[in-house]
Amino acid sequence: MSVAAVDVLTPTGSTVTGIRTQIDREIEALLVALPDPARLSADERRGIIARYTAVLEGNFIYWMTGAYLSVASDEARAKIIDNLREEVRDCHPGMLRRFTLAAQSAPSAEDADAVNHDLMEVRRFIGRLDAVPTVVTMAFFEGFIQRFMPYLADLAKRQGSTEMEYTDVHGICDITHTEELYGALAAELALAPARSPQELFEGVGLLRTLMQTIVGKN
C-alpha cells in the first residue's frame, strides 16, 4: 500500500487526493495488463465480451443501489441517484445486451460459471453496506469502465460488430461527473471514522480480481 493511501486515515481534502491517486494507479495497472486483442482468437475475444456481460448486465444497477443504501450524506445520495436514474431511464442493461448480441457474444452457462466465484465475493462485499469502502469501489469501477470501453469496442469490431452505442455512451470522459463522485467521497469521509487503507481498498481488490477473470488473466 502506498504512502499516499496512508493519509486517508485523516478525513481532509488531501485524504480524497490520496485515495484518488491510488484508484488511478489501480486502474492503470489493470489496463496495461489487458491481453492484446490482435493476439486473441475469436473465441477468446467472444469470451471476454461474454464474461463482461455476465457480470455487468445484472449487477451494475444492483451494486449502485447498494452504494445508495450505504451512504449517509446528501451529496453522495444525490450523485448516486443521478447515476441510477440514467441507468434505468436509458436502459443501460438493454444497451449492453444489444452490444453483446451484435458481437455474437451472448454469455453461456459456462461464461456465468467462470465469473461466479469472484462475482459472489463482490456481492458479499457490497452487501455489507459499508459506505466509504463502497464509494471507493464504485469510483474505481466507473473510472475503469470508462477507460476499458475502447478495448471492449475493439474486441467487438474484431467480432464483426458495428453496434457501439454501449461503448460510446460509457467511454465519454465526463470531468464534472468524476469531480462529483470524489465530492461524494469527501462528504462520506467527513462522516466516517478513520479507516485503514486495507479496509478502504478491499472492494477494489475484489473487483480487480473479478475484472482479471473477465479478461482471462486469472
Crossing angle (nearest 10°) for helices 74-89 and 92-102: 50
CB of 87 to Fe ion, least distance (A): 5
Q: Stretches 25-33, 89-97, 148-156, 182-190: which one binds Fe ion (CB under 5 A)? A: 89-97
Let me know if 13 is exposed, middle or buried by CB neighbors in 10 A (0-12, 13-18, 19+). exposed
CB of 167 to Fe ion, least distance (A): 11
> CB-wise, 39 or 89, nearer to Fe ion?
89
Q: Nearest 5°: phi and psi at 164? A: -125, 20
92 binds Fe ion (CB under 5 A): yes
Residue 163 and residue 102 in contact, taking contact as beta carbons nearer than 8 Å? yes
Residue ranges of the alpha helices (H) in the chain? 3-6, 13-32, 42-70, 74-89, 92-102, 109-127, 131-158, 165-170, 175-191, 197-200, 202-214
> CB-wise, 161 or 167, nearer to Fe ion?
167
Q: Stretches 1-9, 85-93, 106-114, 126-134: which one binds Fe ion (CB under 5 A)? A: 85-93
Q: Stretches 49-57, 88-96, 127-135, 208-216: which one binds Fe ion (CB under 5 A)? A: 88-96
CB of 101 to Fe ion, least distance (A): 17
CB of 155 to Fe ion, least distance (A): 18
Please report, as ranges, the residues that interact with Fe ion according to CB under 5 A.
Answer: 92
